[in-house]
Amino acid sequence: MRKGLPVAAALALTLTVASAEAQTERKPPYWASISASKAAMRTGPGRNYPMTWIFQRRDLPIKVVETYPNWRKVQDPDGATGWMLQRLLSDERTALITGTEARPLHEAPQEGSRIRYRAEPGVVGHLSKCARGWCLFDVGGRQGYVRQDQLWGVEPGETLD
């Protein structure tokens, strides 16, 4: 029975090292999104700190403003900040429609192009490319170009491929 212990320990160490190597360490600030169906925001970088909020919105864009080993200090679309476990976040780029009225999703990245859809404020979609002030925004397979200044989740003038 003891023979299996070193093998199991070595396997566990290998899996831990492999998963740690798979995580990309980036310098804040940077954009991420919530990957879990429930994600707790805390007052500090540890489970012993009180929760300030529980997000129940997968894919919500989050701005990472600070890092601490397995924790990320994040800012939400309303400006609130707190700490989340790194494993609750994804590198998948998403954005949120801002403003007080529906925003047009254009067929091409230009103001005069045909409007394919309209997205209400607060709608979250996936970003696949951004250039020259426009981003391709996908909400459940419905795609269109949105002006970057109508999105939270992308820096002004940022380019994504």
Q: Is residue 34 part of a domain?
A: yes
Residue 146, H or E segment: strand 142-147
Residues 81 and 113 in one domain: no
Residue 23 has pLDDT above 80, yes or no: no
Total count of domains within the chain: 2
Instruction: Select from 50, 76, 92 the last residue of a domain.
Output: 92
pTM: 0.82
- Please give the residue that has the higher pLDDT: either 136 or 14: 136
Write the pLDDT tens digit of every residue in 42-78.
999 999 999 999 999 999 999 999 999 999 999 999 9
Write the pLDDT tens digit of every residue in 124-154.
999 999 999 999 999 999 999 999 999 999 9
What is the span of the domain harbouring residue 140?
A: 95-152
pLDDT of residue 26: 85
Asked whether the beta carbons of 33 and 95 are under 8 A apart, the reply is: no
